[in-house]
Amino acid sequence: MATEDGWSLANKLAAAALVVTLVAAVFTFIQVGQGADWFCGTSLGKPCEAAPTPTVSVSPATTPPTKTPTAKPTTHTPEPTRTTEPTKKPTAAVAWSGRVLIHKAAGIELDTAPPSQATGPAGTIEAADILLDNSRYGTHYRLTAMSGVSLADMTQTGTPDARSCLDSLQTVPVGDAPAEVGTTLCVGTGRGNLTMVRVTGDANDGLYLAVTQWN
């Protein structure tokens, strides 16, 4: 059935239903938009929220450790060992060497070079260093040290040098020694000189002596 304006009742009802549907859709759209950010800042939406500022994590700058220079160990060069040379024993020079005859009941002076005979009056004999004497020994002659003279018998030790002669005089002095071939004596003279005396042979009235004087 048509109405006066040309719309049928059915058409009007359909149109009204469409309007209602459209209004409901718009209302739903607005409600949904209010919860979202589509209409933020407008009368239809909620206030716009500021976008969160992204947090950038900045690690603190790491300062590299300061390198402490390693001190080089000080190398100590040891000083060369100084070798101390042993003290050399003093050596005596030979002042005179030769053969001398000593007479029986007489003596010789060993501080002269060559040694001199000491014969004659008692005063001269007393000045000798050693005496070939038998007045105290019967028929056997011996070599005897005079006053102020020292003797050391070195017969069993071979030919002495000045050092061994001096050592013997200081450790094993004797007063006299046999007047025999091979007897070797070290003599400390009245003036402090060193002399070696060795009996080398017999003479008609005495003995032959090999004499070495040191100074």
Predicted confidence at residue 47, as pLDDT, reads 61
For residue 155, give the DSSP letter.
Answer: G
In a domain, 70, yes or no: no
- Domain presence at residue 161: yes
Residues 41, 111, single domain; the answer is no
Q: How many residues does the chain have?
A: 215
Distance CA 103, CA 114 (A): 16
Query: Does 103 share its domain with 43?
Result: no
Classify residue 65: in a domain, yes or no.
no
Cβ atoms of residues 154 and 160 within 8 Å: yes
- 36 shares a domain with 99: no
15 & 106 share domain: no
| Same domain, yes or no: 129 and 190 | yes
Alpha carbon 105 to its chain centroid, in Å, reads: 67
Its sign, for the CA torsion 178, 179, 184, 189, is: positive
Whether 64 is covered by a domain: the verdict is no
Phi-psi region of 37 (alpha: psi -120 to 50; beta: other; left: phi over 0): alpha
CA torsion through residues 179, 94, 124, 128, sign: negative
pLDDT of 21: 76
Same structural domain, 103 and 20: no
Residues 199 and 118 in one domain: yes
Q: Where are the beta strands (DSSP E) in the chain?
A: 94-103, 106-109, 116-118, 130-133, 142-145, 150-153, 176-178, 184-188, 194-203, 206-214
Q: How far apart are CA 6 and CA 166, in angstroms?
A: 176
Q: What is the pLDDT of residue 50?
A: 56
Contact of 106 with 206, CB cutoff 8 Å? yes
Looking at the structure of the chain, the number of domains it has is 2
- Residue 208 and residue 102 share a domain: yes
- Regarding whether 133 and 36 lie in a shared domain, the answer is no
Q: Which domain holds residue 148?
A: 94-214
Is residue 146 in some structural domain?
yes
Mean pLDDT, consecutive 10-residue stretches, the chain (215 aa), reads 58 72 63 54 58 53 56 60 46 90 92 86 78 78 92 86 93 93 95 95 94 93
In a domain, residue 110? The reply is yes
Is 118 found in the same domain as 181? yes
pLDDT value, residue 24: 67
CA distance 165 to 173: 10
Alpha-carbon distance of 154 to 165, in angstroms, equals: 8
Structure tokens at 162: 């000045």
CA–CA separation, 104 and 38 (whole Å)? 162
Distance, CA of 45 to CA of 35 (rounded, Å): 7
- The reply to whether 74 falls in a domain is no
Residues 114 and 24 in one domain: no
The span from the CA of 101 to the CA of 116, in Å, is: 10
- 101 in the same domain as 206: yes
**CB of 111 within 8 A of CB of 121?**
no
Q: Does a structural domain hold residue 2?
A: no
